[in-house]
Amino acid sequence: MCGIVGYIGAREAQPILINCLKRLEYRGYDSCGIALLGETAEVHKDAIRIEALERSLQPNDSQAGIGHTRWATHGKPSGINAHPHTDCSGTIAVVHNGVIENFLQLREQLTSEGHTFRSETDTEVIPHLIEKYYKGDLEPAVLKALADIAGSYAFIAIRAGCDELVVARKDSPLIIGIGDKEYLVASDVPAVLDYTDRVIYLEDGDLATITQGTFKLTSNGKQIERTVHRVPWTMEEAQKAGYEHFMLKEIHEQPRAIQNTFAGYISALEPEIDLGIRKDIDFDNISIMACGTSYHAALVGKHAINKLVQIPVNVDMASEFNYSDTILGKSLVIVVTQSGETADSLKALKKAKELGCYTLVITNVVGSSATRIADDILYIKAGPEISVAATKSFVAQLIMLYLVALAHSAIDTRSRGSLLTELRQLPNRLYEILDREEEIAGHGKYLAGYDNIFFVARGINYPIALEGALKLKEISYIHAEGYAAGELKHGPFALLTLDTPVVAIAAKDNTYETLLANIKEMKARESPVIAIAEEGDAEIEQYVDFVVRVPKVDPLFSPVVNVTALQLLAYYTAKERGCPIDTPRNLAKSVTVE
């Protein structure tokens, strides 16, 4: 979740580190800092934004250093708890992402040996351990420190007098960017794209020692080589391109994201899908695992697979599966993760493999950890997603899950062809919704005046009610709940008043008539109701206060058009309230701790 950067080369490190940190602001952070190599490890840090840190800095000609944006886990946001952390002498500095599970025991041991700690963080034990073992060479000291550590980590260590970065990774993402006689280290690709598009994705157990001219990579004490990947998108694609916020830009990119996800999987001439994955897997059920927004995509995927494949499908929150006694049996396990680095999803993926299941990952990031663990990979090809609130990656995940369902479907060729034709038209349907942006913005301004909102739906759109509520709460800070419409009367009705609006997704499927009855019950409690309803549905206007219109599509694909309308609704509600839409408080883009 934290942003990690490092630089060593022939240029001044300070402006490069600051720029790299700015490229990682979308990950979410509460403090930041840098350390530059000199006679000591010169540290500048505080619980401030990067721009404020930059203004406080004096020119420095150091050609190596490290930087960090912290998302608090151990200790509140403060200058003392901000990274980098140093040893007693201020000679060794470390930036770290992850959780050191045995830090209390290590801290007690090191304190008894004369070490003095300043912060509440788990990270601070790392530079003290390195100091303990340092005998004139940084790399072996880091290796000995790692032997004492239990938990997850991605970190960079530097030491005054040593012109090198020592980098280690276990269960947290870390890359090395290879430039022209310079190297960059980062927790995510966007940090380095201003300088290089060539990256190495480190794997668990990797340790790298990097100098100005070379780097050495080892694993389990043996020198190794890792593949150098070309990043398939540019820094320009990760810019706002004139939009006020990344979230709005990424909502508008959804038609293209759908088209990119289709590419290479659907035949242009025949109603056929070739996902390029093994077809001889023997399984009698499917288990899908994910977190957050990806979990909501998985729930939609369950409906689609049940309908088209007619095979049992179970969906688990990865964070819960990891501590459950779930019996998978002869399962195909699908893990859905935008980043491919979500800690809970990676743990679930590893557990499924240990249980002997065939694993398939649906992800957006080439070379991510999940792609190196799973047996098969499906890339959604949504392009870089910078806003913390996921939008285009969610829609692309839906498309990929539809493709999985259609590829394994038991329906006849004609029916499959008809659905594929409709699927190909979804980008055009989304453009129609984007043309109504101003109208939806008006509804957002209306909702901005409330503190509590319910989102309701039935069937395949129930997960979209969950997603709509999640989008609203994470970027507008309005308390929102997603509910299956039939469940409101089992308790939440007690909260319905004139001051509690309801957003109802009125899809024209087999749940429509029952949903109308539910809406009547809500109106009887005087709650204002905004309906998301398809064009041509005149009946809905009799029962609700406002209607947001979406194009008519096959009910199977209605989640795609409905969620796009809800994304815009959440965006304009948050904008009206003046919220920091791309970087909501306390949240991070890539959740790399459990």
The residues annotated as belonging to the active site are: 2, 589
DSSP state at residue 544: -
Residues 6+ apart with CB under 8 A from 439: 548
Pair 1, 71: CB distance under 8 Å = yes
- 3-state secondary structure string, 325-370? CCCCCCEEEEEEECCCCCHHHHHHHHHHHHCCCEEEEEECCCCCHH
What is the per-residue DSSP string for 136-184? S-HHHHHHHHHHH--EEEEEEEEETTEEEEEEEEEBS--EEEE-SS-EE
DSSP state at residue 273: B
Give the pairing type, strands 206-210 and 313-317: unpaired
Token match 């479907």: residue? 409
Token code pair at residue 366: 């080439």
Report CA dihedral (228, 230, 231, 236) to the nearest 10 degrees. Answer: 140
Token match 């499906």: residue? 378
DSSP state at residue 456: E
Token code pair at residue 141: 């000291």
Backbone angles phi and psi of 188, in degrees to 5: -155, 150
Closest CA to 332 of 410, 258, 263, 401: 401
Pair 366, 379: CB distance under 8 Å = yes
Backbone angles phi and psi of 189, in degrees to 5: -60, -40
Token match 């012109």: residue? 163
Token code pair at residue 94: 């470390």
Pair 189, 176: CB distance under 8 Å = no
Cα separation of 281 and 354, whole Å? 17
